[in-house]
């Protein structure tokens, strides 16, 4: 029988072993590691710095005082509290959909939604760079999967044409993409994708994990920025990135959400998120969508411009290639006091290991400038 030690050695040999790093401080643009204090953190998805926002911390504490700790049971048993329904109404209003469902994480939203809506005989068409949660959700569904090369509209169209012939009258075809891609920071051509899916009678799921809170009017995401929200059938996202907390959402038509309540296993068979968390997410959404959010988004844009005039998002990949080289570059940066993770297969394709820099509105201009010079030095000595 295979023993785990041998498997770990194999990972180690390929430069693919992962280790946990203990952070001693709260999340923030500076973090204390076990053996190195006050590292500049360029690895978090807390794009607006809300994870440690003073107002939200106070709100969270008061909600715990009012509502207690846990939620007691799954949503369908006795775990649905007013705070969950209020949050769902709020996110549905923001996304301008009839209804919304929240999950304990974005991962749970993806792995719950796709198998609830698709089954054997249906077709799921995914961008090659879709997040692991979308791939796992697609696999779990039992539907036929087709992958198109990243952002390749011609191949998406040929998959759609094929799918139309493949599924029966009752069959579903769902196109799945992200709006801001998590490891590349580039954008999907959402308007063109929406046109194609309309032409072929397919549904469109857009995962706005890295765009919600960051792009578009009120931070409502890329679909809102492009004015095509109404063409997106399934709006997915997470409260764990720009919103600074945790939890996932899926916004859609009332009947679709009701179907998820009946079929999404990650929703049905999991204890409801803590009510105080749901209430704090509602407070965070108010902040993200009003003038405070606008100010933070303007600051984030300034940080991006300081880093480089041609960033497309707050995610900036520095492609290195080989695993060991990416790890070495990350270790070198850490020695200089910069926490920038090396991202390797299977998170990104083989041969494209990279440093993934993420910027936050909470960074100071000086932080960005010192990272830039550290990266430049790193390249010279590479
Ligand atoms: C982070 C992420 C998720 C998962 O969200 P969590 O709330 O962290 O579970 C899903 N999709 C994408 C694109 C992500 O980046």
In this structure, what CATH number is given to the domain that contains residue 34? 3.90.1150.10
Residues 183 and 144 in one domain: yes
Q: Whose CA is nearest to atom 14 of ligand 1?
A: 209
Is the C-beta atom of 356 inside 6 A of ligand 1?
no
Residues forming a β-bridge with 99: 252
Range of the domain at 366: 22-47+314-381
Q: Which of 89-107 are b and which e, b meaning 16 or more Cβ less than 10 Å from the residue's Cβ?
A: ebbbebbebebbbbbbbbb
Task: Examine residue 110 and state whether it is found in any structural domain, yes or no.
Answer: yes
**Measured from the CB, is residue 43 less than 6 Å from ligand 1?**
no
Q: Which atom of ligand 1 is nearest to the CA of 45?
A: 1
Asked if residue 360 has its Cβ within 6 Å of ligand 1, the reply is no
pLDDT, one tens digit per residue, over 23-49 is 999 999 999 999 999 999 999 999 999
* Whether residue 192 is found in the same domain as residue 212: yes
pLDDT score recorded for residue 117: 98
N residues, the chain: 382
Is the CB–ligand 1 distance for residue 133 below 6 Å?
yes
Last residue of one domain, picked from the residues 274, 289, 304: 289
Let me know if residue 309 belongs to a domain.
no
* pLDDT of amino acid 188: 98
List 343's β-bridge partners, or say none. 354
Q: Which residues are catalytic?
A: 45, 131, 178, 182, 207, 210, 241
Written as six digits, the tokens of 372 are 């830039």
- What is the tens place of the pLDDT at every residue in 97-142? 999 999 999 999 999 999 999 999 999 999 999 999 999 999 999 9
Domain termination residue (choose one: 273, 289, 305): 289
Same domain, 242 and 120: yes
Q: Are residues 193 and 248 in the same domain?
A: yes
Please indicate, yes or no, whether residues 200 and 239 belong to a single structural domain of this protein: yes
Regarding whether 211 and 247 lie in a shared domain, the answer is yes
The residue contributing the CA closest to ligand 1 atom 3 is 106
pLDDT for 379 equals 77
Asked whether residue 334 is assigned to any structural domain, the reply reads yes
Taking the CA atoms of 340, 379, 318 and 298 in sequence, report the sign of the dihedral they define.
positive
Substitution candidate for ligand 1 out of 150, 182, 315 with most atoms within 8 A of CB = 182
Residue 240 CB–ligand 1 contact under 6 Å: yes
Residue 103 and residue 219 in one domain:
yes
**Is the CB of 313 within 6 Å of ligand 1?**
no
Question: Does a structural domain hold residue 302?
Answer: no
Q: For residue 120, tell me if it sits in a domain.
A: yes
Q: For 111-128, give one letter per residue: b (16+ CB within 10 A) or e.
A: bbbbbbbbeeebbbbbbe
- What total number of domains does the chain contain? 2
The atom of ligand 1 lying closest to the CA of 210 is 15
Spans in the chain with pLDDT lower than 70? 381-382
Query: Which of 289, 324, 340 represents a domain boundary (last residue)?
Result: 289
> Are 201 and 329 members of one domain?
no
Residue 378: predicted pLDDT? 83
The DSSP output letter for 112 is H
- Is residue 44 within 6 Å of ligand 1 at its C-beta? no
Residue 92 lies in a domain: yes
In a domain, 2, yes or no: no
Considering the entire predicted model, what is its pTM? 0.97
**Rounded Cα gap, residues 313 and 324, in angstroms:** 27
Q: Residue 237 domain-assigned? A: yes
Q: Which residues contact 349 (CB under 8 A, 6 or more apart)?
A: none
26 and 76 part of one domain: no
- The answer to whether residues 336 and 249 belong to one domain is no
**Residue whose C-alpha is closest to residue 237's, from 47, 71, 69:** 47
Domain shared by 59 and 41, yes or no:
no
Residue of 110, 209, 317, 347 to test ligand 1 pocket, by largest number of atoms within 8 Å of CB: 209
The per-residue pLDDT for 39 is: 97
Does residue 244's CB lie within 6 angstroms of at least one atom of ligand 1? no
- Mutate which of 43, 105, 107, 273 for ligand 1 pocket (most atoms within 8 A of beta carbon): 107
Question: Are residues 253 and 147 part of one domain?
Answer: yes
- 217: CATH: 3.40.640.10
Distance from residue 47's CA to the centre of ligand 1 (Å): 14
């Amino acid at each position: 029988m295979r023993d785990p030690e041998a498997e770990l050695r194999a990972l180690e040999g390929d430069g693919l072993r992962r280790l946990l790093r203990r952070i001693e401080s709260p999340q923030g643009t500076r973090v204390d590691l076990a053996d190195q204090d006050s590292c500049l953190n360029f690895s978090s998805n807390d794009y607006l710095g809300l994870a440690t926002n003073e107002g939200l911390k106070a709100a969270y504490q008061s909600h715990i005082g009012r509502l207690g700790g846990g939620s007691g049971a799954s949503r369908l048993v006795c775990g649905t509290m007013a705070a969950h329904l209020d949050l769902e109404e709020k996110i549905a209003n923001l996304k301008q959909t009839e209804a919304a469902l929240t999950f304990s994480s974005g991962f749970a939203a993806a792995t719950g939604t796709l198998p609830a809506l698709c089954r054997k005989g249906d077709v799921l068409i995914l961008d090659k760079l879709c997040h692991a949660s979308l791939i796992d959700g697609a696999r779990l569904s039992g539907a036929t999967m087709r992958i198109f090369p990243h952002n390749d509209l011609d191949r998406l169209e040929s998959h759609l044409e094929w799918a139309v012939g493949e599924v029966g009258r009752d069959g579903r075809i769902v196109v799945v993409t992200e709006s801001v891609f998590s490891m590349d920071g580039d954008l999907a051509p959402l308007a063109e994708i929406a046109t194609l899916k309309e032409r072929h009678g397919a549904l469109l799921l857009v995962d706005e994990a890295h765009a919600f809170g960051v792009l578009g009017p009120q931070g409502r995401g890329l679909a809102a920025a492009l004015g095509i929200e109404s063409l997106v059938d399934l709006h997915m996202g997470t409260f764990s990135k720009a919103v600074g907390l945790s939890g996932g959402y899926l916004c859609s038509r009332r009947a679709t959400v009701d179907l998820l309540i009946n079929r999404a296993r990650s929703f049905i068979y999991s204890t409801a998120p803590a009510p105080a968390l749901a209430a704090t997410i509602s407070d965070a959404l108010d902040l993200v969508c009003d003038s405070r959010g606008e100010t933070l988004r303007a600051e984030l844009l300034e940080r991006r411009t300081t880093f480089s005039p041609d960033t497309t998002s707050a995610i900036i990949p520095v492609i290195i290639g080989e695993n060991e080289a990416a790890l070495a570059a990350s270790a070198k940066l850490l020695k200089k006091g910069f926490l920038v993770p090396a991202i390797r297969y299977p998170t990104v394709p083989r041969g494209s290991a990279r440093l993934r820099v993420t910027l936050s509105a909470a960074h100071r201009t000086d932080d960005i400038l010192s990272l830039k010079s550290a990266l430049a030095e790193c390249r010279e000595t590479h």
